[in-house]
């Protein structure tokens, strides 16, 4: 059975205070009421698809943490293996991929909650042939990838040896 990687862009967030272009102000942006509702819909959609994550990687930005809270409300709490990481904020695809590849081999379904453009670029890198990804990765968009083990390294069926080549887009949606 393949592993499942879920990429989720945070839901819609408030704008930073006028004239404040600091990283601190950007990190502190909360979700809008519409964004809170979208995060909840994402959680309900994931639950309906039987996509409960075993582990979560999440940026430390307020909007990603609030998105995760809204999603996980559908599952009645976060998985025990939830890691908040500052290096996921505005991360490049290589950084995101490196963090995913560090995931324990025991994890079958991994949820990554992050930001654009990194999430979108990573999705394209994982499956460059998926036309759905050309529609744009709006806030609260979800890309679900099936991750197959690397047949060249069957003795080590883990996240490190399976990515990026073993990933195929299964579903792309905006619940």
Rounded mean pLDDT, 63-70: 97
Convert the pLDDT of each residue in 99-158 to its tens digit: 999 999 899 999 999 999 999 999 999 999 999 998 889 999 999 999 987 655 555 557
Give the pTM: 0.93
pLDDT of residue 1: 77
Q: Which of 93, 153, 160 is nearest to 124 (CA)?
A: 93
- The proportion of the chain whose per-residue pLDDT surpasses 90, expressed as a percent, equals 78
Cis peptide before 138 (omega within 30 of 0): no
CA distance 155 to 54: 22
Q: Which domains does the chain have, with CATH numbers?
A: 3-14+23-173 (3.40.50.1240)
């Amino acid at each position: 059975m393949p592993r499942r990687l879920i990429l989720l862009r945070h839901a819609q967030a408030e704008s930073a205070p006028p004239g404040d272009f600091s990283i601190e102000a950007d990190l502190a942006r909360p979700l809008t009421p519409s964004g809170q509702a979208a995060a909840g819909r994402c959680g309900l959609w994931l639950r309906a698809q039987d996509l409960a994550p075993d582990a979560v990687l999440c940026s430390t930005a307020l909007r990603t943490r609030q998105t995760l809270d809204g999603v996980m409300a559908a599952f009645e709490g976060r998985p025990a293996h939830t890691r908040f990481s500052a290096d996921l904020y505005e991360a490049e695809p290589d950084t995101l991929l490196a963090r995913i590849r560090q995931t324990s081999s025991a994890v079958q379904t991994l949820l990554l909650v992050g930001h654009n453009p990194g999430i979108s670029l990573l999705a394209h890198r994982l499956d460059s042939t998926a036309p759905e990804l050309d529609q744009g990765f709006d806030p609260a968009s979800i890309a679900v990838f099936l991750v197959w083990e690397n047949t060249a390294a069957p003795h080590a069926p883990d996240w490190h040896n399976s990515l990026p080549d073993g990933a195929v887009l299964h579903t792309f949606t905006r619940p």
